[in-house]
């Protein structure tokens, strides 16, 4: 299944709370149903993104980690 990502955020090197703050700002620019990809290196971002999606109603579609880079794909509600 191929996903069409509308926007990619490079959040590598940022620590809490900046990855979530920048994601919250960027997702406002998207239409409902569009996908946002966020790339982060902060290990705490795993829990942060899960909690943020849960509290905002946005869907965490995919979460992976490779070579210390965490990738999150979020569908805007």
- Whether 16 sits among the annotated catalytic residues: the reply is yes
pLDDT the model gives residue 3: 76
Please give the model's pTM, rounded to 2 decimal places. Answer: 0.94
Cα separation, 19 vs 27, in Å, equals 12
Q: Which of 6, 16, 39, 61 is catalytic?
A: 16
What does the pLDDT look like over 29-56, one tens digit per residue?
999 999 999 999 999 999 999 999 999 9
Angle at Cα 17 formed by Cα 31 and Cα 30, nearest 5°?
5
Structure tokens that stand for 7 in this block:
């926007």
Please say whether the beta carbons of 5 and 73 come within 8 A. Answer: yes
Total number of domains constituting the chain: 1
CATH number at residue 15: 3.30.110.40
List the domain range (segments joined by +) for residue 18. Answer: 5-75
């Amino acid at each position: 299944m191929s996903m069409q990502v509308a926007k990619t955020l490079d959040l590598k090197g940022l620590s809490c709370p900046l990855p979530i703050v920048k994601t919250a700002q960027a997702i406002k620019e998207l239409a409902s149903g569009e996908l946002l990809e966020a790339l982060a290196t902060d290990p705490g971002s795993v829990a942060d993104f899960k909690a943020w999606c849960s509290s905002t109603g946005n869907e965490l579609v995919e979460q992976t980690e490779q070579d210390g880079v965490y990738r999150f794909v979020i569908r805007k509600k």
